[in-house]
């Protein structure tokens, strides 16, 4: 849906070394092959030559610019950076969106959500289970959804603030389920609780336990990434000053679904997870496709850290973050291997 090819057949001056008969024949063969979709065998039969002759003519047509093949993508997508980023981190999919000039320093521009919504339309199969984690980018994505095969949609984390559930991840789950025509399993609970005992009690409540039962069935998940600073990580903003300082002392560089990571992608501050309503890291690693949606220069280091964790298979980001990501080492274990840096 993002890429199209345009084949132009011409008889320009660059093909002048070919005689007129050769030019006419080459142009006709090129039209049959590139525009009409005929095979080399079919073309050979039509012109009374061998298929090897057809192959040589088509090759010559390309070499002498008789045929020009252009790969075009919409202006907002950067195909070159996307492919480079995919290869650099060993990702399954990487889609890089042009950063809006007026929002260069803004994390997670809304257009990331629009592109991620289209990507989910490609990745989710009918009958699948789609998991959505809390995050501004996933909320933007859900709002932009206009097509999705019928699937079950489950919430992977509690909400940033239970009082905003209707405008946040609960509504995102409902929206995705509505578009797909499938069942929704939201979680009506805060992401962060005062202590582990309260979190454990909530996990045993019927509605939340039902959502957790689906975690092992999730085939595609969409998650957000936050860097460890105010306004960029919802978990950071929910903690006290003393707690922030303690986790910062562990070298935390990124947060995803209430899991904390250092610059090398290793999980730190694991006790935080005991107080949170969220999908466990081991379960997240077993999900076949985990798409992270995050962008902006301020989040670039955090994105790199999470990619090194092996928890993410695909990324939707912007050029501001991509340029930084391409300049830093990916680490010995690319994301596609799903390897845990702690092992």
User: Both tokens of residue 97?
Assistant: 């969106």
Residues 72-85 have pLDDT tens digits of 656 578 888 999 99
Measure CA of the first residue to CA of the last residue in the chain; give whole Å: 39
Measure the CA dihedral 73/110/98/257, to 10°: -100
On the question of pLDDT at 249 being above 80, the answer is yes
CA–CA gap between residue 38 and residue 305 (Å, rounded): 48
Decide: 259 and 267 in contact? Cβ < 8 Å. Answer: yes
DSSP 3-state helix, strand, coil percentages of the chain (rounded to 5)?
45, 15, 35
CA–CA gap between residue 182 and residue 220 (Å, rounded): 15
On the question of pLDDT at 6 being above 60, the answer is no
Residues 180-224 have pLDDT tens digits of 999 999 999 999 999 999 999 999 999 999 999 999 999 999 999
Residue 66 has what pLDDT? 82
- Please indicate, yes or no, whether the overall pTM of this predicted structure exceeds 0.85: no
Higher pLDDT, 331 or 62: 62
Residues 46-74 have pLDDT tens digits of 999 999 999 999 998 888 888 877 666 56
DSSP string for residues in 122-148: HHPPTT-EEEE-S-HHHHHHHHH----
CA distances from 208 to 75, 135, 221, 235, 289 (A): 42, 19, 18, 20, 23
């Amino acid at each position: 849906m993002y890429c199209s090819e345009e084949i132009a057949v011409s008889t320009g001056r660059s093909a002048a070394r070919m005689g007129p008969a050769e030019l006419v024949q080459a142009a006709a063969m090129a039209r049959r092959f590139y525009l009409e979709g005929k095979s080399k065998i079919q073309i050979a039969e039509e012109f009374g030559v061998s298929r090897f002759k057809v192959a040589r003519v088509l090759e010559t047509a390309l070499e002498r610019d008789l045929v020009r093949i252009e790969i075009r993508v919409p202006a907002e997508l950067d195909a070159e950076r996307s492919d480079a980023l995919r290869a650099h981190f060993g990702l399954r999919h990487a889609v890089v969106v042009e950063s809006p000039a007026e929002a260069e320093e803004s994390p997670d521009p809304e257009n990331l959500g629009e592109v991620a919504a289209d990507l989910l339309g490609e990745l989710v199969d009918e009958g699948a289970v789609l998991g959505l984690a809390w995050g501004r980018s996933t909320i933007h994505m859900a709002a932009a959804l206009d097509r999705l095969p019928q699937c079950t949609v489950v919430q992977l984390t509690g909400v940033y603030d239970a009082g905003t559930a209707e405008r946040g991840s609960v509504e995102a789950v409902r929206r995705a389920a509505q578009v797909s025509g499938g069942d929704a399993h939201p979680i009506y609970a805060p992401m962060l609780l005062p202590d582990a005992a309260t979190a454990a009690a909530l996990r045993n409540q019927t509605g939340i336990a039902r959502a957790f039962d689906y975690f092992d069935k999730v085939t595609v998940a969409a998650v957000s990434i936050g860097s460890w600073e105010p306004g960029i990580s919802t978990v950071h903003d929910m903690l006290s000053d003393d707690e922030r300082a303690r986790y910062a002392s562990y070298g935390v560089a990124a947060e995803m679904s209430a899991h904390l990571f250092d610059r090398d992608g290793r999980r730190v501050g694991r006790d935080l997870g005991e107080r949170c309503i969220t999908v466990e890291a081991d379960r997240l690693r077993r999900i076949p496709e985990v798409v992270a949606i995050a962008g902006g220069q301020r989040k670039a280091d955090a994105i790199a850290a999470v990619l090194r964790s092996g928890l993410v298979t695909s990324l939707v980001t912007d050029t501001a973050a991509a340029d930084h990501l391409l300049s830093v080492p990916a680490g010995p274990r690319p994301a596609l291997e799903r390897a845990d840096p702690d092992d």
